[in-house]
Every structure is written in structure tokens, then in C-alpha cells.
Amino acid sequence: MSIGEPVVLRDISVELDLEQLETQPPFAQWLAAKSGAATRTRIETLREEVVASIDPRGLYLIEPTQESVIERYDPPAELVSGSHLVTGVVTLGEDPVATNELSRFDALLWDALENAALQDVREAMLEAIRAETDERGWNTTRVYAPGTKDDGWPLERREYVFEALPTEEIDCTLQGTYTEPRKTLTFTIGVGPDIEQAEFLLSCADCEILAECPYAGAKTMA
């Protein structure tokens, strides 16, 4: 792949493996409760419906840091310490299921399953990116996602991703601070031969809402 050439990923496989879900928050807490058996039954049913309803896809771009527009968006210093940047977006597509038509409990499970699916899609893209950077002999910073880390990069800086990428190719837009489709994640990674390899690409370790987050620890990716 050429530097500066957007890469679109489609037909990303999502399985929502029940054994993996059992170890992740918030599912682990729900299944440990007295109603855990009933919860497991609903998760088994709804996860199949969620997988059938989503259309996961993503887009990423590797470009020289100096040629990017990221400096307009006050990025964290570590993020722009490498020679190149990777900017990406993943989405589950439009949700055909109106969760307000589900029971309150099923709607809660559905939302959590979609979040787990979205994280799986992001991991699939990160694996593709790591394969690309490893082939070039490059190291990476951790993943930076506006609004989710205590790094001084607020949510509104997500505009950078939508300026840097032709997100219309995957039918994804930003309306104010809201993405369309709703279940969408954006991220940026610093890469290059001149930086130290981050221990983890994904980690909850420095998130500013760690103490209150029901998903804390759900994903840590080396």
C-alpha cells in the first residue's frame, strides 16, 4: 500500500464469542449476578441478532505527519512524535433495530453487544495497521481517540479525522459532535522508525473516567 492512499476495509468478521464476552465488563458483572442464568440466555439470543444486523466497515490512512492537517487540532505531543500518522474510523453501519422497541433490559444488552462488536471491528483494523507498520519496520504510539483519554485532546477534535479521511466512502459523517452512524469510533496513531514502541495499543490505564466506566478493562491490546 502506498503512503497517502486511503484503505477501506469491508466484510469485517464479528463473532461476539460468548466465552470472551463472559470475561469482559459489563457482561462479567451481569452474569455474576443472581439473574446471571437468564442474562446469559438473552445474551446468547441477542448476540446473534446483533451480528446479523450490523454492517461493519472501516477506513484508515497513513501519511507523513508534516503533510497532515493535525496541527490545527492541538494534538498530544506523543501522537505527532513519529514521522507518520495513521488516522482511522470504524463503524457498525446504520442500526435497523429501534432499541426503544425493546424491553429496557434487552435494550441495555443490545447496546453493550454493539459496543463489544465495535471494539472487535477496531481491533481488526488495528491488526491490519500493525501488519503494515511491522512490514515497514516502524513502531507505534498507543491509540489516541479524541474525548476518551485524559490527554487534553477533547471530543471536538474528532473533526480532524473527518477532515483527514474521505469518510463518505464508508457512509460515515460527523454532525456537530455526533457521528452518523451512531456506533462509530475514530482514532489516530503516531508511527515511524524514530519512536519507541508503545507497550499497548489499547489500554484503559489513563482514561479520565476509569473509576466510573462500566466497560473499564474491556479491551487491552498489545
Does the residue 2 lie in any domain?
no
Q: What is the Cα–Cα distance from 74 to 76, expressed in whole angstroms?
A: 7
Domain range enclosing 21:
7-212
> Which cell goes with 49?
441478532
**In the chain, what percentage of residues exceed pLDDT 70?**
87
Residue-wise pLDDT tens digits, 146-162: 876 566 688 889 999 99
- pTM beyond 0.85: yes
Specify the pLDDT at position 95. Answer: 77
C-alpha cell at 124: 481488526
Number of domains making up the chain: 1
User: Which residues are within 8 A (CB) of 108 and not within 5 positions of it... i.e. 6 or more apart?
Assistant: none
Question: What CATH number corresponds to the domain at position 29?
Answer: 3.40.109.40
Cα 142–chain centre separation? 13
Q: Is residue 1 part of a domain?
A: no
Helices (H) and strands (E) in the chain, counts: 5, 7
Provide mean pLDDT across the span 27-48.
92
Residue 9's pLDDT band (cuts 50, 70, 90)? very high
Residue 218 lies inside a defined structural domain of this protein: no
Residues, the chain: 222
